[in-house]
Homo-oligomer: A and B are copies of this chain.
């Protein structure tokens, strides 16, 4: 029988780790592309995977940082990056799996950041921002270190998927759905919006300067 108190947290933790793996892969791939050495690739993988959560915990004064007490994060990232660097030539078709993992990570990171802020009694608007923050800052820092213009700010449904999920959660709570299912509906909404955006090539408009 499923323990209702533990089950959601365990599932969220597993989804979180899938997101961590996705970010470690994305960071390592870009770092390799830039010609970084083994240690440099691991560092970029770390920044991509735990950079957003690190800055979120620092901004919210949550100490020690989440990866300082749960060593699984650092171990999973290091192992993922090393395995990818050593065996990558065996798996050149990693792209589709990465997009799937990445969408899972986007959803899990958003839910975690959103709930952490709500647990600190911050305003719902700030909680929505913290969900976005947790989900995107790692990728932003990766692109900054690798001297790339951040792709996720350009034409990707990424920030908006995270916001859509948070707003769904807030609406469900406002309407009285206070069960712990709300965060799974939030997870599902973010994942679905992101996957649909990839499938149908949705993107936000960018209003270009006339001149």
Contacts and interface: CB of A to CB of B under 8 A. Distances in A.
Given A145-B144, A147-B147, A88 B209 contact: yes
Given A32-B208, A54-B59, A210-B89, A148 B147 contact: yes
Interface residues on A, range: 35 or more
Nearest to A156: B37
Interface string A173-211: 000000000000000000000000000000111111111
Interface in A41-90: 41, 43-44, 54, 58-61, 63-65, 67-68, 71, 74, 85-86, 88-89
Per CB-CB distance, the 5 closest pairs between chain A and chain B, nearest first, are: A40-B153, A37-B204, A39-B159, A61-B63, A37-B206
Interface of A: 29, 31-41, 43-44, 54, 58-61, 63-65, 67-68, 71, 74, 85-86, 88-89, 92, 120, 122-123, 125-126, 129, 132, 136, 140, 144-150, 152-156, 158-160, 163, 203-211
